[in-house]
Structure 1
Amino acid sequence: MNPQWSLKGDYLESCNCKGACPCIFLGSPTEGECTALVGWHITQGQFEAVDLGDRNVAIALHSPGPMAEGNWKVVLYIDQRADEAQQEALSRIFGGQAGGHPALLATFIGEVLAVEHLPIQFEVEKGHRHLKLGQSANTEITALEGQNGAEVTIHHHPLAVAPGESLVVAKSQSLLHRAYGINIDLSERSAFYSPFAYSGS
């Protein structure tokens, strides 16, 4: 029986695709393969009796082709501020062992290259997000400006990190990761962000 847990907060993803990443529409990456950083800031969270509020998680991933075809290689990063019980809970949730939507996302993973505990910063400002993982990775993204200054959004896309939410379309000012063979250093590429809510029930 899966444990009782729930999380909500903010998420972002930033990848090497040009334009709006086709992967969320089950298409092929614009560069033939997709390398991305995905981060979550938990504003409220509980794993049974363990409080997970104000903790961050991130993954670096490489998909050799369309993301929906799987075979991802990933590195899981857990907030260094998490105590032992929080680390265990976050590893189980985002590793897919605790059910819920993260378990579905985990079915696309072919290999976990590492699990690391690092200082993770996740900054949320209007129209802007910044994720920093120790000294090895970071991304800064800014929302695109749509009609009359409104956000550009995507709804009901089939491959979703945050199901039920509308994605805000953004562009990266930086996308950097250098560890475990997942190496990227780009700017002006595809990015998205939105709220997220997961549960194990």
Structure 2
Amino acid sequence: MSYKLDGSILEVCNCNVLCPCCIGEDADNGSCCAAIAHHFDKGSIDDIEVSGLTVACATFIPGNILQGNWQVAVYIDDRATDVQFEALSSVYRGERGGPLADFAHMYGKIVSIERAPIIFDLQGGKGKLDIGVDIHAELEPYWSPSGAPAVLLGNSISTTPCSPAIISKASAYRMKNPLLKVDLNLTGHNATQGHFNFQA
């Protein structure tokens, strides 16, 4: 097995709640600018242990999500060793197959792969994400009448395949990446959280 990655995801974008990209419709603003972070509670790539690390992507999606040509900046936890960095880079470039290669097929260009300090904090349904000085987001879920988080399952495009996506809202979302030509400072926009299990 090339890799096995299990953990939690935080995702935020500049669309309204709910992001229409999740059902293959056009983004609310003509393009979708998203930050997606994977924290590995347990993870290995071949025999390389990556548990406890986080990888995040800043993604610019021009037009409809299904048309591809995504522009992506990849941030790898600055605590990763050189060996871990290279292994994670190959997974996120799509070179090792599996679900992350499916996403990589949608990329038009990876503009950068770099180290960054990443804060991934998830407490009682509330999430906080900091990626260097480029990205900051704070989010919390919507709640169903039963008191459980409201979820989305079976959508056309999912960053949490085979697992419910918890519908959330970002009270703060900032992203600045010159390579992606993105400079955002927003409140009250779409966010999701969830669990992933990626294997190849």
Same fold (TM over 0.5): yes
User: Which residue number corresponds to residue 101 of structure 1?
Assistant: 99
Residue type of the alignment partner of 1:188: G
Residue deviations 1:76-135 (CA, integer Å, cap 9, x gap):
000000001100111111121111100000111111111110111111111111111111
Check if 1:70 corresponds to 2:87: no
Residue deviations 1:128-149 (CA, integer Å, cap 9, x gap):
1111111121111100122133
Q: CA deviation at 1:7?
A: 0.4
Q: CA deviation at 1:150?
A: 2.4
TM-score scaled by length of structure 2: 0.96
User: Which residue number corresponds to residue 57 of structure 1?
Assistant: 55
User: Which residue number corresponds to residue 132 of structure 2?
Assistant: 134
- Equivalent-residue separation in structure 2 for 1:115 and 1:163 (angstroms): 24
Check if 1:92 corresponds to 2:118: no
- Equivalent-residue separation in structure 1 for 2:84 and 2:38 (angstroms): 15
Moved over 6 A (4+): none
Residue type of the alignment partner of 2:130: K
User: Which residue number corresponds to residue 191 of structure 1?
Assistant: 191
Residue type of the alignment partner of 1:176: R
Residue deviations 1:9-53 (CA, integer Å, cap 9, x gap):
001110011120010101111111100100010010011111000
Q: CA deviation at 1:6?
A: 0.4
Q: Give unpaired runs (5+ residues) of structure 2.
A: none
- Equivalent-residue separation in structure 2 for 1:5 and 1:136 (angstroms): 28
Q: Give unpaired runs (5+ residues) of structure 1.
A: none
- Equivalent-residue separation in structure 2 for 1:182 and 1:57 (angstroms): 19
Pairwise CA RMSD: 1.0
User: Which residue number corresponds to residue 163 of structure 2?
Assistant: 165
Contact 1:178 1:184 in 2 (8 A): yes
- Equivalent-residue separation in structure 1 for 2:99 and 2:183 (angstroms): 27
- Equivalent-residue separation in structure 2 for 1:155 and 1:62 (angstroms): 24
TM-score scaled by length of structure 1: 0.95
Residue type of the alignment partner of 1:53: S
- Equivalent-residue separation in structure 1 for 2:73 and 2:2 (angstroms): 25
- Equivalent-residue separation in structure 2 for 1:96 and 1:162 (angstroms): 17
Q: How many residues align?
A: 198
Contact 1:60 1:182 in 2 (8 A): no
User: Which residue number corresponds to residue 121 of structure 1?
Assistant: 119
